[in-house]
A and B are shown apart, each in its own frame.
Chain A
Amino acid sequence: MKALAARRHHRMAPVVLLLLALLTTGGIYAALAPSTAKAETVSTADIETGKKLFQANCATCHGPNAEGTDGVPSLVGVGAASVDFQVSTGRMPMQTNGPQALAKPPQFNEEQTAALAGYVASLGAGPAIPTDEQVDASLGDPSNGMALFRTNCAMCHNAVGAGGALSEGKFAPALWETSERNIYQAMQTGPQSMPVFNDANITPDEKRDIVSFLVEQREGSAGGNALGALGPVSEGLWAFVIGLGLLIGAAVWIGAKSS
């Protein structure tokens, strides 16, 4: 201690202290900050490719450095998950202006999407793309997923994820075709009208339970054709079209039989 105490007035001491402080802060940050899992694996070259793709396809609206323009959100800090969700479902680049961006066949392949995600993730930390294990439906508990889904999601997406209407032409899409990874990312990032369900709100395990519940719904209904799982309106419609249609047809046939 004596040696240390003797040198504390050394002229290099402030520099050493500053370095130590920076190292500690950086270390704590690295340990605690949301991990950008995929971003780490993306090389600088990929980020460069991503930047070029971004400037060619996205910068018109989001600005040359993704800082956003009037009415268009900044992408700094949205994370790789958000980019992967928007681009792999074809919502971005947006086809037309409308109540909301519609899903369409994706414009970029997987590599390009990863490069774009890497570039945007490099602009600021945000939610990372979930790992395959995080979205593996077979590891989730569909019963808990059901309870969470109907408390948090069903008021817009329908009880089994068949979709529903929102105000002014917006809608919560049906989730039959949505990939497990995209469902998870949507909860993480809250695209468009959807709220963000962060990991404190719904934990990663609970998100996987929800994915598991939704995947289970795709197996169909125990009672036969699910009729779109839209509830009593579609049931009533089919009662008239098929049921009453057949019965009135039969009545006409019986009535025509004798006279």
Chain B
Amino acid sequence: MSTATPDTKREAPATPTTTVGKAADYLDQRTSIGLAVKEFARKVFPDHWSFMLGEIALFSFVVLIASGFFLTMFFEPSMALETYEGEHPANMHGQLMSVAFASTLDMSFEVRGGLLMRQIHHWSALIFMASIVVHMMRVFFTGAFRKPREINWIVGLILMILGLAAGFTGYSLPDDVLSGNGLRITDGVVKSIPVVGSFMSYMIFGGEFPGHHIVPRLFTLHIFVIPGILLALIALHLFLMVLQKHTQYPGGGRTDKNVVGYPAMPVYVAKMTGNFFIVAGVLALMGATMSINNVWNYGPYDPSPVTAGAQPDWYMLFLEGSLRLMPGPGWEWVIGGFTLSMNVLIPAVVVPGILFTFLFVYPFLEARVTKDDEEHHVLDRPRNKPVRTGLGVAFLTAFIILALAGSNDLIATHFALSINGITWVFRVLIFVGPVFAYYITKRICLGLQRKDRELVLHGHESGRIVRFANGEYIEVHTPLDEQERWLRVNYEAPAPLEIAPKTDARGVKRKGYASDKRWQGLSRFFYEDRVAPVSPAEVEAAHSHGEHDQLNGSERQAVEAGAGTTSREH
């Protein structure tokens, strides 16, 4: 099913008769596009719902571009002041505000379909980031970042960071109180960077915050620079995916040397088109029925007011939480007359730095401690790489704790808790939680692997209890079929690195031993606890001594004598 039927009886190309055929022939004679179409139409893709998560991101990006194109026609990126004369909403009438804010109100209340477009755009941004994160989780937990796809993992990470940048710049454009407060925090974070911070802040804002330049600058970034790079990198991301072929889940007949699936034409073209309309439909539905970022609730930016419940969009919430968790007093150091704000620098620069570094480095780190130089096209089941899965869950735990800490005021009001208590709990959890999550996840993975071993060796419990003449009861187990067994035995469980001894044959200390030793230590952390896949010999052995499990009633008495030594399942 993986290839199109070969063209055995090729005849002289007939002259096309239909209009479409003629047009296609016209195009093909001039561009030879037929070759590319043929190549793509026959390209085989494996099938799984989780491979569509990236598609959701792609399609919500298309919706973002389309709705954003509409919004740029009505938004005026200017920080000049004007008095709002519009009648809607009543609470904004007659207020002094920036032109940017006024044009946001105008596009929401005066432009036909403007509010719908604004809401679709904003919801698409949230879904874009959400689907990217879920897609990354799929890629990480299945090991799809391994050779040859490390570069595409990096491209994806840069896409994710650009998505954050696009979201942040867009959030800051309407010049309402929320976006202004977000920019003020950004200003504080930039200023916390030693030595260059204050200069950078002056550069970004064109003088002291807020100035008159930031909205036009963010606008250019938001509608031109960032989407431009995003588009180019999305193209690269997809090109690499096609070039390297898509990964596939493990299963019978699937190896690192083939791709089992359906051709792009017509199956995937139909599915992708359908999925595009579903994504666009869901986003339009959300934009039409659920309000988002009602800037007139917050009012035009003014540096003095702050509102309760002032938070960034969800994908930035981890930074907000990190800032909220950091204790203030004692962390602002004055060294030789210069202030070093560790209480901003640590949560807003160091913490995201650690998180992103982990994501960038991980594929290379894992390859190094595994000494893995093979190409991988078959995905891992998450349980078969317990430490990777554990680390991924630990990372997510840290991210979620930070995001919850960023919502601590809402948790306090909705669950009738003390905000101080919540903050302290999260301060402890941010250190303990990931470790705990790592340990638990790793144990669950190892447990599942042992369960798989058990299943392969002894088969499914059938629920049939058989009684022997000597009074012993056993449960009959049905053996796994080929596909089930393949899935459970066909994986690698790497052992920790073996390194050359400290000294050579003459007792001379070897160069590079210390470094090897460190890598070995890390490798042990990864692979010391391992459950090896069942070998064919083990299956053989299990079957020969557990044979009576599959006997039916009439044959039972024949093996009765040896029953006492067989495996018993409780």
What separation, in Å, do the CA atoms of A233 and B299 have in the docked complex? 19
| Interface-located stretch among A50-58, A66-74, A153-161, A196-204 | A153-161
What separation, in Å, do the CA atoms of A217 and B299 have in the docked complex? 13
B457 at the interface (CB under 8 A from A): no
Contact residues in B for A151 (Cβ distance below 8 Å): 304-305
B417 at the interface (CB under 8 A from A): yes
Contact string against B for A residues 122-157, beta-carbon threshold 8 Å, 1 for contact and 0 otherwise: 000000000000000000001101110011001111
For window 303-318 of chain B, which residues contact chain A by CB distance below 8 Å?
304-315, 317
Closest CB in chain B relative to A242 CB, distance in Å: 7
The reply to whether A259 and B47 contact each other, CB–CB distance below 8 Å, is yes
> How would you classify the secondary structure of chain A's contact residues: helix, strand, loop or mixed?
helix
Contact residues in A for B317 (Cβ distance below 8 Å): 232-233, 236
Contact residues in A for B419 (Cβ distance below 8 Å): 165-169
CB-nearest residue of chain A relative to B408? A165
B286 at the interface (CB under 8 A from A): yes
The reply to whether A229 and B52 contact each other, CB–CB distance below 8 Å, is no
Contact residues in A for B406 (Cβ distance below 8 Å): 233
Closest CB in chain B relative to A123 CB, distance in Å: 34
CB-nearest residue of chain A relative to B93? A143
What separation, in Å, do the CA atoms of A177 and B412 have in the docked complex? 20
| Interface-located stretch among A23-31, A33-41, A247-255 | A247-255
Closest CB in chain B relative to A182 CB, distance in Å: 19
The reply to whether B134 and A236 contact each other, CB–CB distance below 8 Å, is no
CB-nearest residue of chain B relative to A250? B278
Contact residues in B for A163 (Cβ distance below 8 Å): 308, 413
B177 at the interface (CB under 8 A from A): yes
The reply to whether A239 and B123 contact each other, CB–CB distance below 8 Å, is yes
What separation, in Å, do the CA atoms of A147 and B49 have in the docked complex? 50
The reply to whether A168 and B115 contact each other, CB–CB distance below 8 Å, is no
How many of B's residues come within 8 Å of A, CB to CB? Answer: 76
Contact residues in B for A160 (Cβ distance below 8 Å): 297
How many pairs of A and B residues are in contact by the CB < 8 Å rule? Answer: 209
The reply to whether A165 and B292 contact each other, CB–CB distance below 8 Å, is no
Contact residues on A (Cβ < 8 Å of other chain), bracket? 35 or more
Closest CB in chain B relative to A86 CB, distance in Å: 20
Contact residues in B for A213 (Cβ distance below 8 Å): 91
The reply to whether B290 and A242 contact each other, CB–CB distance below 8 Å, is yes
What separation, in Å, do the CA atoms of A231 and B94 have in the docked complex? 25
Contact residues in A for B115 (Cβ distance below 8 Å): 222-223
The reply to whether B418 and A169 contact each other, CB–CB distance below 8 Å, is yes
B435 at the interface (CB under 8 A from A): no
The reply to whether A224 and B409 contact each other, CB–CB distance below 8 Å, is no
Contact residues in A for B88 (Cβ distance below 8 Å): 222
| A243 partner, pick from B94, B123, B178, B311, beta carbons under 8 A | B123
Chain A positions near chain B (C-beta within 8 angstroms): 99, 142-143, 145-147, 150-151, 154-160, 162-169, 171-172, 213, 216-217, 221-227, 229-240, 242-244, 246-248, 250-259
- Listed from nearest, the 5 A-B pairs whose CB atoms lie closest are A164-B308, A236-B314, A255-B49, A223-B291, A239-B126
